[in-house]
Structure 1
Amino acid sequence: MKIQILKIGFLFLTLAALCQTADAQRVKKKRNDGGGGNTTTTAGTGAEQGATNVTRPPVNPRAGIPIRVDSTGMAGTEGIGKSMRPTGAFGHITDSINNKRQPLTYEYLRYDDALFAEKVWRELDLREKMNQSFRYAGQEDNGSQMFIDILLKAVQEGKVTPFADDRFITPKTMTEVTEMTQGSADTNEVRDINNPDVVKEYVVTRASFDPKSVNKIRVMEEWVFDRESSRLFCRILGVAPLLSVMDASGKERGTKAMFWVYYPDLRPVLATYDVYNPKNMGASRMTWEELFEARMFSSYIVKSSLDNPGNRNVRQMIKDPILALLEGDNIKERIFNYEQDLWSY
Structure 2
Amino acid sequence: MMSLKKFFAAVILGALALPGYSQVSELDQYNPNSIDPIPRYEHLFKRRVWRTIDLKEKQNKGFFARGGEITQFIINSVRSGELSDIYANDSLTTRISKEDFMDRLVYQEGVEIEQWQNGFEYYEGDRVRYNGVTYTAIFDEITSVPSESPDDWEATPGYGAATFFLPRQISKIRVMEDVIFDKRRSRLYHKIQSMELIVPGSETLDQVELSLGVFKYKDLHKLFREHPESAIWVNRYNSAENKNFADAFTLRLFRASLFKYENPDNDPIVDMYQNRKEAVMASEWWEMQLMEKEHNLWEY
Scaled by the length of structure 1, the TM-score of the pair is: 0.60
Following the alignment from structure 1 to structure 2, what is the Cα–Cα distance between the partners of residues 323 and 115?
31
Following the alignment from structure 1 to structure 2, what is the Cα–Cα distance between the partners of residues 321 and 194?
59
Q: 1:245-290: CA deviations, max 9, x gaps?
A: 3699x684x4232100000111021222221222332x21311001
For residue 121 of structure 2, what is the aligned residue in structure 1?
A: 195
Structure 1 letter corresponding to 2:292: N
Q: 1:33-58: CA deviations, max 9, x gaps?
A: xxxxxxxxxxxxxxxxxxxxxxxxxx
CA contact (8 A) 1:166 1:260 kept: yes
Query: Which residue, 104, 108, 124 being the options, matches 1:180?
Result: 104
Following the alignment from structure 2 to structure 1, what is the Cα–Cα distance between the partners of residues 202 and 267?
23
For residue 71 of structure 1, what is the aligned residue in structure 2?
A: none
CA contact (8 A) 2:234 2:242 kept: no
CA contact (8 A) 2:35 2:218 kept: no
Structure 2 letter corresponding to 1:217: I
Structure 1 residues 200 and 234 mapped into 2: Cα distance closer, same or farther (>3 Å)?
A: closer
Query: Which residue, 234, 239, 254 being the options, matches 1:276?
Result: 234
Identity of aligned residues (%): 22
Query: Which residue, 176, 182, 191 being the options, matches 1:226?
Result: 182
CA contact (8 A) 1:191 1:197 kept: no
Structure 1 residues 189 and 263 mapped into 2: Cα distance closer, same or farther (>3 Å)?
A: same
- Report the CA distance between 1:137 and its aligned residue: 2.1
Structure 1 letter corresponding to 2:251: A
For residue 53 of structure 1, what is the aligned residue in structure 2?
A: none
For residue 168 of structure 1, what is the aligned residue in structure 2?
A: 92
Scaled by the length of structure 2, the TM-score of the pair is: 0.68
Aligned residue for 1:186, secondary structure, equals coil
Any unmatched runs of 5+ in structure 1? 1-104, 139-144
Any unmatched runs of 5+ in structure 2? 1-33, 135-159
- Report the CA distance between 1:189 and its aligned residue: 5.9
For residue 119 of structure 1, what is the aligned residue in structure 2?
A: 48
Give 1 or 2 for the bigger CA radius of gyration. Answer: 1
Higher relative contact order (CA 8 A, sep 6+): 2
Aligned residue for 1:297, secondary structure, equals coil
- Report the CA distance between 1:158 and its aligned residue: 3.2
- Give the aligned CA root-mean-square deviation in angstroms: 2.9
- Report the CA distance between 1:335 and its aligned residue: 1.5
CA contact (8 A) 1:224 1:232 kept: yes
Following the alignment from structure 1 to structure 2, what is the Cα–Cα distance between the partners of residues 181 and 291?
26
CA contact (8 A) 1:126 1:134 kept: yes
CA contact (8 A) 1:125 1:299 kept: yes
Once the two structures are overlaid, the 10-residue window that deviates more, 318-327 or 160-169, is 318-327
Report the number of matched residues.
230
Q: 1:173-219: CA deviations, max 9, x gaps?
A: 11101111233223456877972279783553322431111121100
Following the alignment from structure 2 to structure 1, what is the Cα–Cα distance between the partners of residues 52 and 39?
29
For residue 290 of structure 1, what is the aligned residue in structure 2?
A: 247
Aligned residue for 2:253, secondary structure, equals coil
